[in-house]
Chains A and B, each alone.
Chain A
């Protein structure tokens, strides 16, 4: 792995660990938000490197466009999480065939 890639990985790990620490004292809805944001950042991390995956890129775009609902409309946010899980399950199934 080159230096830039290592640095990017380190930043992602720092984000996840900082989130873990912060969540001890934060609103419980921030847990799902941070995990979802981490998923988006993970997709950004792999994008254009060894992996370029249209489904994942579309998933990331969806995450970026709707993650704010954790603060604006928690009910819609939870609904979005359900939709996303089903979409991912469908993609897993499709690829497993």
Chain B
């Protein structure tokens, strides 16, 4: 199950089909606790953490500065979304975590200098549901021009 969830990440859209991502899955007790210790954004005690990383040298080689600085970050987010959608479909809870110390995580995972951890996805069975409030759709989605809500006429 865990492998299938993580594999969903490689099917995510990505800039120029560069696929410069690297996924490190942590399930082992000590390492998992150590990752949690340097990742304040992990509020629970997940069964697994997937570190979505980017090979920044490969990104630069394939797509220049835009890929290294921007597209690779977006690609990580899209891979994370794929993983989380697959997880929820499989009845597994997940959370995307950006509050972690990148260098500490790099050290704990033994990542080479060019491989940068961009996003952590925690996986486990949620004790409870805590749905987050959403902004009103009409306040963030416009048609044809900024400020024009669906169904209203453009001036």
Report which A residues bind B (CB closer than 8 A). 10-12, 14-15, 18-19, 21-22, 26, 30, 34, 37, 67-68, 71-73
Contact between chains at A22 and B37 (CB < 8 Å): no
Distance from A21 Cβ to chain B, minimum over Cβ atoms (Å): 6
Report which B residues bind A (CB closer than 8 A). 33-34, 36-41, 43, 99-101, 104, 130-133
Residues of B within 8 A of A73 (CB): 133
CB < 8 Å neighbour of A68 from B39, B99, B101, B130: B130
Residues of A within 8 A of B41 (CB): 22
CB < 8 Å neighbour of A15 from B40, B131, B133: B40
Contact between chains at A30 and B99 (CB < 8 Å): yes
Q: Which of A12, A19, A30 has the most CB of B within 10 A?
A: A19
Contact between chains at B100 and A67 (CB < 8 Å): no
Residues of B within 8 A of A11 (CB): 33-34, 36-37
Contact between chains at A22 and B33 (CB < 8 Å): no
How many contacts A-B (CB < 8 Å)? 43
- Judged by DSSP, the binding face of B is loop
Using A22-B99, A37-B43 as known contacts, say yes or no to A14 and B133 having CB atoms under 8 A apart: no
Residues of A within 8 A of B38 (CB): 14-15, 18
| Cα separation A26 to B101 with both chains bound (whole Å) | 12
Residues of A within 8 A of B43 (CB): 37, 67-68
Contact between chains at B34 and A22 (CB < 8 Å): no
| Cα separation A30 to B37 with both chains bound (whole Å) | 16
| Cα separation A34 to B101 with both chains bound (whole Å) | 14
Residues of B within 8 A of A21 (CB): 101
| Cα separation A69 to B103 with both chains bound (whole Å) | 29
| Cα separation A34 to B33 with both chains bound (whole Å) | 17
Using A11-B33, A18-B100, A22-B101 as known contacts, say yes or no to A71 and B132 having CB atoms under 8 A apart: yes
Can you identify 13 A-B contacts, CB atoms within 8 angstroms?
Answer: A11-B33, A11-B37, A12-B37, A14-B38, A15-B36, A15-B40, A18-B38, A18-B101, A22-B101, A37-B40, A37-B43, A68-B43, A72-B131
Distance from A75 Cβ to chain B, minimum over Cβ atoms (Å): 12
Contact between chains at B99 and A26 (CB < 8 Å): yes
